[in-house]
Amino acid sequence: MRCNAETFAQMYEAVYMDLYRFAVCIMRNRQEAEDAVSEAVVAAYENIGKLRSRDAFKNWIFTILANICRKKIKKASRKMEQSGEAFTLFASEEPDYSEMIDVRKAFFILSDEEQEIVGLSVFAGYNSREIAQMLRMNPNTVRSKRSRALQKMECILK
């Protein structure tokens, strides 16, 4: 796809908040989320020629962001293992009490895969077919995992 900086900026502006919300949920830290989104935007801009159509932009950039988040989490996990420390996902040094709500707690109890599926579904608005493409899964598997994850959250919230 041919794209200039202005067109890219317009496409990015349309999805920025969804990208950020998704990254915060996965990374559990605002600064790490901002870094991940920034890396995703740079990678997307550098590779925009590989995008086939403008309609696929949201799906494409979310896939890039999800991959970057996964890599950052794996890297941090390995680093912590090497130092012999227990790994916690980018926890803020000082808790942000405004974010300590029950729904967040329930979300963080989910596995990484469940968080990714729920995040893409709830925060980014993707359907199971789109999520399945991004995560290379069967759409029925995505639906069942999303359903189980939401049920798990519901049990925790009761």
User: CATH number of the domain that 73 lies in?
Assistant: 1.10.1740.10
Q: How far apart (Å, rounded) are the C-alpha atoms in residues 58 and 63?
A: 9
- Domain check: are 47 and 18 in the same one? yes
Tell me which residue has tokens 């420390």: 85
One domain for residues 59 and 32:
yes
Domain range spanning residue 124?
A: 101-158
Q: Are 67 and 107 within one domain?
A: no
State residue 87's pLDDT score: 47
* Residues 22 and 77 placed together within one structural domain of the fold: yes
Q: Which residue has the higher pLDDT, 94 or 65?
A: 65
Largest Cα span, the chain: 50
Q: Is residue 96 part of a domain?
A: no
pLDDT digits 0-9 by tens, 94-127: 444 334 456 777 787 888 889 889 888 887 778 8
Please count the structural domains in the chain: 2
Query: Which residues, 6+ apart, have CB-to-CB distance to 53 below 8 Å?
Result: 1
- Tell whether 108 is covered by a domain: yes
Tokens of 56: 């696929």
Residues 113 and 71 occupy one common structural domain? no
> Could you give the residue ranges of the DSSP H alpha helices within 28-136?
30-46, 57-83, 102-109, 112-118, 128-135
pLDDT confidence of residue 101: 56
Which pLDDT value is given to residue 80? 67
Please report whether residue 43 resides in a domain.
Answer: yes
The pTM assigned to this predicted structure is: 0.63
* Residues 6, 81 within the same domain: yes
Domain annotation covers residue 118: yes
CA distances from 90 to 33, 40, 74, 97 (A): 10, 18, 12, 16
Could you tell me if 114 and 78 lie in one domain?
no
Q: Which helix (H) or strand (E) holds 24?
A: helix 5-27
CATH code for the domain in which residue 136 is found: 1.10.10.10
